[in-house]
Amino acid sequence: MGKSSHNDGRLFVISGPSGAGKGTICKKLLKAVDISLSTSMTTRSPRPGEVDGKDYYFVTVEEFEEKIKNDGMLEYARVFDNIYGTPKDMIIKQLEKGRDIILEIDVQGGLQVKQKMPKQAVLVFVLPPDLATLRQRIVNRGTETEDVIDKRFNEALNEIKLIGEYDYYLVNDELDDAVYDLQAIIMAERRRVPDKIMPIVREYEKGI
């Protein structure tokens, strides 16, 4: 998995039920914070307006399986009848350059990242203000059919059950507040630099 130290970048994993507002928050955050956004790979079909290589790498099941076989994925999971995953290459390159990266992925994927890269992973869970609002947001987005809306809404509980595994959570009620909360989490994590602190502690220990 390449070298790993506190000088590496961090992986900010953003999860939460479909429709909670992860994509909207991250898009706005990128205008305020210098951070990279990982592009996932998926077997789902593009929505109108989605661009291959930007929103996702859209691939066939066979292409996805080939990538898994070649150990090319940091994590992957089956979500709503499709496979989604994070290609490893870009992540490793960016981390080694010391860049922080956002992964907008589901809880199953988030837990894999936490297990594989515990030093770099910071897990953030996005909640809607309430379930009626969540459903309304999935409907308003206008990208899913009625049965897919139901499936996504029903799956929310399974995601929320695992919130205890996450480091932070934020409620996306007012969009600007949610963006600000995420920005504050990133800033706070960037100030946690044990590699800088420990030499000072050791110097004191020697001197006393």
- Cα–Cα distance between 169 and 117 in angstroms, integer? 20
- Assigned token pair, 81: 């009848």
- Segment contacting ligand 5GP (CB under 6 A): 57-65, 88-96, 106-114, 178-186? 106-114
DSSP of 39-50, one letter per residue? PPEESSPPPTT-
Smaller CB separation from ligand 5GP, 6 or 58 = 58
Residue the block writes with tokens 């709503």: 80
Out of 85, 114, 127, 134, the only residue in the binding site for ligand 5GP (CB under 6 A) is 85
153 interacts with ligand 5GP by CB under 6 A:
no
Binding site annotation covers 207? no
**34 in the Ramachandran plot: left (φ > 0), alpha (ψ -120 to 50) or beta?**
beta
Residue 23 contacts ligand ADP per CB under 6 A: yes
Q: Which does 109 bind (CB under 5 to 8 A by kind): ligand ADP, ligand 5GP, none?
A: ligand 5GP
Site for ligand ADP in 156-195 (CB under 6 A): 172, 174-175
Query: Residue 106's binding partner, choosing from ligand ADP, ligand 5GP, none, with beta-carbon cut-off 5 to 8 A by kind?
Result: ligand 5GP
Beta partners for residue 76, in sequence order: 85
Neighbouring residues of 138: CB distance < 8 A, sequence distance ≥ 6: 18, 19, 144, 149, 152, 153
CA dihedral 44, 48, 50, 56 (to 10 degrees): 0
Binding site members for ATP: 16-23
The site for ligand 5GP (CB under 6 A) is made up of 15, 18, 40, 44, 75, 77, 79, 84-86, 104-106, 108-109
